[in-house]
């Protein structure tokens, strides 16, 4: 073969994917078995859909699904438009320096780790010494134990996430805005369009393809909302709203070593997610002619 060296080169990465990405997919048959440590995955008895049934009949099932969908739905509703608005606003700024500065600053929190992000949230919202409560007291208001209130959990999660990632997410839209045909702006100018009309009729239509693709990716990930931050923000007081499918899998699977059941729950989640992704992609293809494949 002509490029045998290239094929040789690909072997280690390919092994990586086979072992750490595909082998786990095979292992997912665990969901249909009753895992026994001594017999191993393949020696354990088949139980059909028993684990799934257990999950669906579990009183927690609807709570978990509701919490997962509510959290990512909220995240989508608030977190999706804001980067677009931010990009449109930054795009209006003509002075190079201020524009760069805004971008630099708003992009920065993206590099803060999840652990530090949650630490900051907890320090600011701490019941006694937290900055927010000290400020509330200053204005004569009572302290609130934000992280202990189940009703506050979703807002804390979503808005801290927007604080952290809006600037980062705006970059893609800014690039799309930079790619809009300049003659369109000239035409708008000649027609006497105001700044707002220009945004409405030139900028927005120009970035619709990008918006649709990002939307597909976001909706397709609704069930895959990150474990990392939710888990760190959880505490026994807010668990009623903060226990989502991903954290439940971790708790039941790794902490209680209930492998088969947790694999079934995880698989259920992945499959729903996959179906969502295909559905949204198909819909977008039909309606807007934009799609990710």
C-alpha to C-alpha distance for 191 and 185, rounded to whole angstroms: 10
- Determine the Cα–Cα distance for residues 129 and 232; give it in Å rounded to an integer: 20
3-state SS, 8-62, equals: HHHHHHHHHHHHHHHHHHHHHHHHHECCCCCCHHHHCCECCCHHHHHHHHCCHHH
Number of amino acids touching other proteins (CB under 8 A): 85
Among 77, 208, 254, 283, binds other proteins (CB under 8 A): 254
Among 136, 180, 272, 292, binds other proteins (CB under 8 A): 292
Interface mask toward other proteins for 204-243; x: CB under 8 A: ------x--x------x------xx---x-----------
Asked whether 215 and 80 are in contact (CB, 8 A), the reply is yes
> Shortest gap between Cβ of 193 and other proteins (angstroms)?
9
Cβ–Cβ under 8 Å, residues 30 and 263: yes
Note the helical H segments in 179-244: 182-190, 195-198, 204-219, 227-233, 239-242
Q: Which of 239, 250, 272, 285 binds other proteins (CB under 8 A)?
A: 250
Answer yes or no whether residue 163 interacts with other proteins by CB under 8 A. yes
Q: In the complex with other proteins, which residue's Cβ is closer, 210 or 242?
A: 210
In the region spanning residues 71 to 110, those forming contacts with other proteins, defined by CB under 8 A, are 86, 89-90, 92-93, 98, 101-102, 104-109
Q: How far is the CB of 78 from other proteins (least distance, A)?
A: 15
* Shortest Å, Cβ 151 to other proteins: 21
- Is residue 66 part of the contact set for other proteins (CB under 8 A)? no
Q: Which of 195, 200, 256, 283 binds other proteins (CB under 8 A)?
A: 195
* H/E element, 284: helix 259-288
């Amino acid at each position: 073969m002509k490029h045998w060296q290239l094929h040789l080169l690909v072997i280690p990465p390919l092994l990586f994917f086979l072992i750490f990405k595909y082998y786990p997919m095979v292992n997912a048959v665990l969901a249909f078995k009753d895992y026994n440590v001594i017999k191993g995955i393949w020696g354990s008895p088949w139980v059909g859909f028993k684990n799934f049934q257990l999950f669906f009949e579990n009183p927690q099932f609807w709570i978990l699904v509701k919490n997962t969908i509510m959290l990512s739905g909220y995240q989508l509703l608030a977190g999706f438009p804001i980067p677009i608005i931010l990009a449109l606003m930054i795009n209006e700024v003509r002075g190079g320096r201020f524009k760069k500065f805004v971008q630099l600053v708003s992009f920065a929190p993206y590099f803060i780790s999840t652990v530090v992000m949650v630490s900051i949230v907890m320090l600011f919202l701490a019941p006694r010494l937290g900055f927010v409560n000290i400020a509330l007291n200053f204005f004569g208001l009572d302290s609130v134990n934000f992280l202990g209130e189940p009703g506050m959990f979703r807002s804390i999660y979503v808005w801290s996430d927007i604080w952290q990632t809006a600037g980062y997410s705006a970059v893609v839209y800014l690039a799309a805005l930079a790619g809009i045909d300049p003659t369109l702006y000239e035409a708008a100018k000649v027609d006497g369009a105001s700044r707002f009309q220009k945004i409405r009729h030139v900028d927005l239509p120009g970035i619709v393809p990008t918006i649709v693709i990002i939307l597909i990716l976001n909706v397709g990930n609704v069930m895959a909302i990150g474990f990392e931050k939710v888990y760190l923000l959880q505490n026994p007081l807010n668990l009623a709203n903060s226990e989502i499918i991903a954290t439940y899998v971790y708790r039941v699977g790794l902490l209680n070593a209930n492998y088969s059941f947790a694999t079934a729950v995880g698989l259920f989640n992945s499959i729903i997610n996959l179906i969502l992704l295909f559905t949204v992609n198909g819909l977008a293809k039909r309606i807007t002619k934009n799609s990710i494949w």
